[in-house]
Amino acid sequence: MERKTTPKVNPQAMAPASLTRQRLHEDISENEQRYRDLVEHLPLCIAVLSEGKVVFINESGARMMGGQKPEDIIGLTVLDFVHEDYKEAVIKRTKQVLKGFAAPPLEEKFVRLDGKVIDVEVSSYPFTYQNKPAAQVIVKDITEQKESRVAARKSETLFTQLFHVSPMAIVMLDSDGNVEQVNPGFEKMFGYSFAELKGKGLNQFIVPDVLESEGNDLNSLISTQQVVRIETKRKRKDDSVLSVIVYGLPVHFEDKTIGIFGIYVDITEQKKIEEELKVRNIELDNFVYKVSHDLRAPLSSVLGLVNLAQMPGNNDNPAEYLNVIGVKVGQLDHFITDVLSHSKNLKLDVRIEKINFRSMIDQTFTDLNYLKGADEIIRGITIEGVPFFSDSWRVAEIFRNLISNAIKYRNFHRQDSEIIIRVSITEDEASIMFSDNGIGIEPANLDKIFNMFYRASVQSDGSGLGLYIVKNAIEKLNGQINVNSKYTEGTTFIINLPNRMPVAAE
């Protein structure tokens, strides 16, 4: 039997293999240490779960969960930290990971050891720990991030609601001045829809042609990061013009202007009131002057006659003085009546009631019967249509002044002085034609007859307030008046007053 010999091993021949394994072991240990260092210093929670318990967690994770060191967390179950609302979902995800499926990032809520609730984003991956299926969990604290998102959404919601519900007109332009957004207030104020304006230059729509350069200058100023406030005019889609205050506010991002907010405040009514106040102030100045003059003139005449009557040796008939005094006092009374009528028209609220035109006109003629020549006037009165409702005092004032003027300014050379009144009433309005064949009005005076204290004829001895009161009363009733006159032949007034019929109950 042949004897087998065992080969001798050369120790020097094994040295390179042992050295390689030793170096490999050292490299692995070094890489593991580097990995552990990386894991420990990551600003994330890195944990390993085995059999539902934490068997490893880095220091950042321990602090994130409310502990001082990893040992405070190790040994606890994952459900000790999961918020009640998310436990069911976490259990399902953990089962999937243990089967070898990664769980994608999911936003959850954790409850720390100190009871503080934090928002987290959790990712889970299959892992092997001590030859058993486990899960590696990566947790990112997104509490501040989520709070920032909520705050941003809240700010966006507040801005969006402010933008859309603001009664002011607001437009948002891009850096080139093209429309990016408009709010309902803008659509209502200017009559354009967002679809009509989107992506287009705004100036071509709302800036009047005469203000084109102003609109361009405004955009240039705003684009240079200046906040602009200007009082100007803008036009609506229907070409009507509005008085507005425009605020231009540039929107900055990283030291660049990326857009413009334009805010428009409609001050049309305010400007109208200001203009009316200017007119009223001028009228007030004239009023004070005229009142002082027209009140003093008759009184001075009366005082002069009294002094004359008291002079020694005066044998004049006192009755003549009394007649003159009576005329002057009558003028004074008429003037005061007109002043009070004007004041009442300005202050008195409109009071709606049914008006009997026939009775009102007849009563006016009766009241004015004291005027010289009143009994000579031929009347032609026609009234037709449905019932009419308006302010009876103001309508009576209109007729009183028109009839009074027609009597005073009749043609003394005619024997057939007449006043023609035709009233036609519909459910919408009363159309009143008032015509006389008196001395008429010269063309040069026609546009002045409604001015305060204006007397168009030397034949006038009135207050100069009559037609002014007529026009103001008609305006108070939201009506209109037009006049046509031919000098020496007569005058015609056309008046339209809205019929304020009460709405029938359903």
Pick the closest to residue 357 from 327, 319, 328, 396 (CA basis). 396
Q: How far is CA 152 from CA 28, 81, 147, 149, 250, in A?
A: 47, 28, 8, 5, 21
Q: Are residues 326 and 470 in the same domain?
A: yes
Residue 378's CATH number: 3.30.565.10
Q: Are residues 291 and 417 in the same domain?
A: yes
Q: Which of 227, 244, 266 is the last residue of a domain?
A: 266
pLDDT value for 326: 78
Q: Which of 266, 290, 305 is the last residue of a domain?
A: 266
Q: Are residues 239 and 286 in the same domain?
A: no
Q: Are residues 50 and 182 in the same domain?
A: no
Q: What six digits make up the tokens of 212? A: 């084109």
Residue 31 lies in a domain: no
Q: Are residues 262 and 282 in the same domain?
A: no
Q: Residue 85 and residue 102: Cα distance in Å, rounded?
A: 22
Residue 208's CATH number: 3.30.450.20
* 3-class DSSP string for 121-167: EEEEEEEEECCEEEEEEEEEECHHHHHHHHHHHHHHHHHHHHHHHCC
Q: Are residues 252 and 281 in the same domain?
A: no
Long-range contacts of 248-257 (CB under 8 A, 24+ apart): 248/218, 248/219, 248/221, 248/222, 249/222, 250/222, 250/223, 250/225, 250/226, 252/225, 256/175, 257/175, 257/222, 257/223, 257/224, 257/225
* 3-class DSSP string for 373-402: CHHHCEEEEEEEECCEEECHHHHHHHHHHH
Question: In this structure, are residues 114 and 65 in contact, taking their beta carbons and an 8 Å threshold?
Answer: no
pLDDT value for 154: 82
Question: In this structure, are residues 357 and 423 in contact, taking their beta carbons and an 8 Å threshold?
Answer: yes
Q: Are residues 172 and 137 in the same domain?
A: no
Q: Which of 108, 143, 178 is the last residue of a domain?
A: 143
Q: Are residues 227 and 119 in the same domain?
A: no
Pick the closest to residue 441 from 494, 374, 488, 502 (CA basis). 488
pLDDT value for 222: 62
Residue 30 lies in a domain: no
Q: Are residues 191 and 292 in the same domain?
A: no
Residue 127 lies in a domain: yes
Q: Are residues 220 and 350 in the same domain?
A: no
Residue 185 lies in a domain: yes
Q: What six digits make up the tokens of 364? A: 């006016």
Question: Which residues form the domain of 492?
Answer: 275-498
Q: Are residues 241 and 362 in the same domain?
A: no
Question: In this structure, are residues 491 and 441 in contact, taking their beta carbons and an 8 Å threshold?
Answer: yes
pLDDT value for 458: 47
Q: Is 324 helix (H, G, I), strand (E, B) or coil?
A: helix
pLDDT value for 2: 45
Residue 161 lies in a domain: no
Residue 7 lies in a domain: no
Amino acid found at 137 = V
Domain count, the chain: 3
Average pLDDT, the chain: 82
What stretches in the chain show pLDDT beneath 50? 1-4, 6, 9, 14, 28, 458-459, 505-506
pLDDT value for 236: 93
Bridge partners (DSSP) of residue 232 are 244
Residue 27 lies in a domain: no
pLDDT value for 35: 56
Q: Residue 139 and residue 361: Cα distance in Å, rounded?
A: 94
Q: Are residues 172 and 255 in the same domain?
A: yes
Residue 138 lies in a domain: yes
